[in-house]
Amino acid sequence: MVCSDVTLDDLVDFHAGIDDFDYSHGATLFGMGAPTEAVYCIRGGAVKMVRFDAAGGERIVRVLKVGDVAGFESAFADNYEHAAIAVGEVRACRIPIVYFRRFVAEHAGLQARLLEKSQAALREAESWLTELVGGTTPARTRVARLLLRLRVGSGDRIHRFSVDDMAAIIGSTPETVSRAVSEFVRQGLLVKGGSGAAKRHFRGDIAALEKVSQDG
């Protein structure tokens, strides 16, 4: 993880302006097209990376979880390519772009690490292309696959996105997602979290979901 890298920890030690921030549900870390002024290390929660098409419809192209770095794709461009929006409570550390660029320029090891990050993101995007979106795969299967990808760590807790968000990921409609999720809940594959912070999570029967995710 870039943030825990020694050289970047040095950055935190020696410069002011880098601190952890909290973002509440729906808060915007940065907007699509806004001038690039920082990258963010996600320390907790989930962040959706959003693109808007010509018609103004939103499409989620990636989901960031703890350890991911938001905005690094645009670190050497003038403007952000996506909007980054918090889903549930999010904690992130903000690194002003000038510090970030200086450090990358000065430390060769960081470049290799960035390349890894970029290729991991590419792998993830391709994975979405093959497994999650459209194709000829039934919607319920794709919803199951998505839920498995939204797991927190390797337990049975699953980030609970809104039906609209899930639809914007798998390329479907809120109604269709709702029907699939409701059915999973009825069948006991999914349990909605109670109140408070737990509201933003499911408990999932991972084994059963994996069964559904294999199409048939």
Stretch of 110-118, 146-154, 180-188, 206-214 contacting DNA, by CB under 7 A: 180-188
Instruction: Based on the shown chain and the rule CB under 7 A, indicate whether residue 215 belongs to the binding site for DNA.
Output: no
Give the separation between CA 72 and CA 53, rounded to whole angstroms.
21
Stretch of 19-27, 29-37, 49-57, 192-200 contacting a copy of itself, by CB under 8 A: 49-57
**What is the pattern of x (binds a copy of itself, CB under 8 A) and - over residues 126-145?**
x-xxxx-xxxx---------
Closest by CA to 212, choosing from 169, 183, 178, 174, is 183
**From DNA, a copy of itself, none, which one binds at residue 162 (CB under 5 to 8 Å depending on kind)?**
DNA
Instruction: Based on the shown chain and the rule CB under 8 A, indicate whether residue 211 belongs to the binding site for a copy of itself.
Output: no
**From DNA, a copy of itself, none, which one binds at residue 197 (CB under 5 to 8 Å depending on kind)?**
none
Give the separation between CA 157 and CA 204, rounded to whole angstroms.
6
Least Å distance, CB 164 to DNA, is: 5
Q: Which two tokens stand for residue 149?
A: 């990808």
Helix 6-14 × helix 97-106 angle, to 10°:
130
Task: Using the CB atoms, write b or e for 111-143: b if 16+ within 10 Å.
Answer: eebbeebeeebeebeeebeebbeeeebebbbbb
Instruction: Based on the shown chain and the rule CB under 7 A, indicate whether residue 33 belongs to the binding site for DNA.
Output: no
Q: Which residue, 11 or 132, has its beta carbon nearer to a copy of itself?
A: 132
Q: Which residue, 16 or 108, has its beta carbon nearer to a copy of itself?
A: 108
Residue among 92, 163, 168, 212 that touches DNA (CB under 7 A): 163
Instruction: Based on the shown chain and the rule CB under 7 A, indicate whether residue 175 belongs to the binding site for DNA.
Output: yes
Q: Which two tokens stand for residue 129?
A: 């292309």
| Length, in residues, of the chain | 216
| Strands 38-52, 20-23: pairing kind | unpaired
Instruction: Based on the shown chain and the rule CB under 7 A, indicate whether residue 195 belongs to the binding site for DNA.
Output: yes
Instruction: Based on the shown chain and the rule CB under 8 A, indicate whether residue 215 belongs to the binding site for a copy of itself.
Output: yes
- In terms of Cβ atoms closer than 10 Å to its own Cβ (0-12, 13-18, 19+), residue 45 is buried
Residues contributing to the site for DNA (CB under 7 A): 136, 138-140, 162-164, 171-176, 178-179, 181-182, 185, 195, 199
